[in-house]
Amino acid sequence: MTTTPTTPADRTASQDNPLLAPWATPFEAPPFAAFAPEQFEPAFDAALAEHRAEIERIATDPAEPTFENTIAALERSGRTLSRVAAVFHVLAGAHTNDALLGLERTLSPRLAAHANAVRTDGRLYARITALGDGEGLAPEQARVLERYSLTFRRSGAGLDAAAKARLAEITRRLATLGTTFSQNVLADEQSYVLALDGAADLAGLSGSAREEAGAAAQDRGLAGKHAITLARSSVEGFLRASERRDLREQAFRAWAARGENGGPTDNTAVIAETIRLRAERAKLLGYDSFAAYRLEDAMAKTPANVRELLDRVWTPARARALADRDAMQEMIRQEGGNFPLAAWDWRYYAEKLRKARYGIDEDEVRPYLPLDRMIAAAFDTAQKLFGLGFAERHDVPVWHPDVRVWEVTGPGGRKVGLFFGDYFARSSKRSGAWMTSLRRQEKLDGEVLPLIVNVMNFAKPAPGEPALLSFDDGRTLFHEFGHALHGLLSDVTYPTISGTGVSTDFVELPSQLYEHWLERPEVLKSFARHAVTGEPMPDELIERLAHARTFGQGFATVEYVASALVDMDFHALSPEQAAGIDPKSFEREALARIGMPEEIVMRHRPPHFTHVFSGGGYAAAYYSYMWSEVMDADAFAAFEETGDVFDPSVAKKLHDHVYAAGGSRDPADAYVAFRGRLPEADALLKKRGLAEVA
């Protein structure tokens, strides 16, 4: 078995730099304790120099271009750079510090410029185009060639020198802006804390919520008090439970204003420049807008197709949300309140409304969802579907003591890789939840096993107490683990199409599909057990949860679709339209056009919309979650139709054509191979309980 192929930098670069030296660790995992911030820049210098030399050899090869001496050679190049960058980006996201933040500001434009130089190299592009359409190649090779050809064309490899020079400037600047954006959001999140002092401030909070707030205060140096932070699990839990309307307003306003507080961390100007540069980039490449550019290489293909789906969902979702609003306003009136429902009231009264309609109280549910049991549930689901086993390892290096590691095995004990879980919020971690990798699966020169990472921000309990999850937290855990399985189960030869190397509006299918199993009685009856008594979740509570499954979907859909529509509106602008953009006014006008209820705020307002403005992974693509949800609703129905949500034959098709296939075929073809047909939006409306409103 091969793990990481040996590279020239491993052999010849300074053995004093552990980032470049061989790693004598289990699975050759990074020895995090050996790394210091000052070692990254020289490691990147060596890795970049090595990659430039590799590219030069490929570009100047006198031999006639072949798949092996061009495409396969490109796939083999840059391994040291990928190795160093993977470690750096995990630390920069999950356990950063001032030194790493400074390095990120320095390195991001350098790395972006390097990648741009490779993708716009006319000599490489000539060799790639000389290979034609890949006639005679194996299917996976033809797909990789297609991806290279498309990537180089869309990067501007065929443009003249002046256009390439301007694209290079734009690329460097966008990298700087993306880093600035994310660091500004992080700074606002790190600097804010709502200190709770005394019983009155804690009114409505459960015992476990108070313990978590106490632990957060201890972590922030506020011994003897309680604290609410801007980690989503902390602030949303507080907004659901706190009886103090004034404190809910304080917490909500701080949460909604991240990145928009004036001063050095304000992202308004960053957004405006980002939109202008993306529009200019798209025009240089021959597209009407950045959205048109982005969607050409997606399942959706055009902005019109995206809007058709979002508009179809928006109308019934808005109607459902307004009906819930009216019901909550009536609840306020009956309680003697003389105030209109506001955004900071919504979660509090929605929780009351859910309890009144379905007898569901989040504080009743949380004790049955301890983190360890939910991890076990996710693992057991993977075992039943795909035959995977998980054994915790305590000898693998990690970047923080809270991080846990499991060795993953397949049927027959075959080694699959390592899974790293980093579950708790801390001040050194960016907010949100994500999957990434320290090493991707490939087998170009032998089997390379993946090292896959899940990062989350659950509230950390007080010492000795169990970590309890809300049902939404549980969904997040299953969602990110679905992404992790996409990386772990990958079974392809070439790195470019490994694991999550698929279009953005397909990459969410494996993750969103996996969420379905959490809601199943088969899973809850086995793993939802009380953290103190060990008693299983009562059947009648499971039934109440099932009945309440679509409660609040009007609100959830509105806050999501509004974010997706505003994202699309920003990126549908031409350079001329973007020239004088004021992001604040643009946001207000975009929301007014769709009739956004004033009691609901977008799930991600532009000033902290890191999906879109921190590196642009979801720029003009935030709609992808809903596009994938059309598929995931239909895909899970394939299991339900058999009467067995773990049906082996359906699971095998899912494994072979989705989780293991990576980007080895067109996404639509992959879905049809699994399901036998393409899905329709009706399954999504039914899943969200909006079909009867449509």
- Residues with a catalytic annotation lie at 480
Within 8-60, strands assigned E span none
Question: Residue 458's beta-bridge partner residues?
Answer: 424
Position 18: which residue type? P
Cα angle for residues 465, 467, 468 (degrees, 5° grid)? 120
Report the distance separating Cα 82 and Cα 448, nearest Å: 14
User: Tokens in use for 685?
Assistant: 């409306």
DSSP states of 614-678: SS-TTTTTTTHHHHHHHHHHHHHHHHHTTT-TT-HHHHHHHIIIIITTTTSS-HHHHHHHHHSS-
Report the distance separating Cα 409 and Cα 389, nearest Å: 5
Strand 415-424 relative to strand 404-409, pairing: antiparallel
Report the distance separating Cα 647 and Cα 638, nearest Å: 9
Coil vs helix vs strand at 134: coil
End-to-end CA distance of the chain: 54
How distant, in Å, are the alpha carbons of 291, 440, 564, 602 from that of 591?
Answer: 19, 40, 11, 9
Q: What is the DSSP letter of 327?
A: H
How distant, in Å, are the alpha carbons of 145, 303, 422, 503 from that of 94?
Answer: 34, 34, 8, 25
Report the distance separating Cα 623 and Cα 614, nearest Å: 17
Within 72-155, strands assigned E span none
Coil vs helix vs strand at 512: helix
Q: What is the DSSP letter of 535?
A: P
**Strand-by-strand arrangement of the 404-409 sheet:** 389-393, 404-409, 415-424, 451-458, 434-439
Q: What is the DSSP letter of 548?
A: T
Residues in the chain: 694
DSSP states of 322-349: HHHHHHHHHHHHHTT--S---HHHHHHH
Q: What is the dihedral of CA 485, 486, 489, 493, to 10 degrees?
A: -160
Evaluate whether 11 touches 44 at the Cβ level (below 8 Å).
no
Report the distance separating Cα 348 and Cα 675, nearest Å: 41
CA 551 to chain centre: 24
How many CA atoms are closer than 13 Å to the CA of 303, on its beta-carbon side?
A: 20
Report the distance separating Cα 671 and Cα 631, nearest Å: 8
Report the distance separating Cα 103 and Cα 175, nearest Å: 13
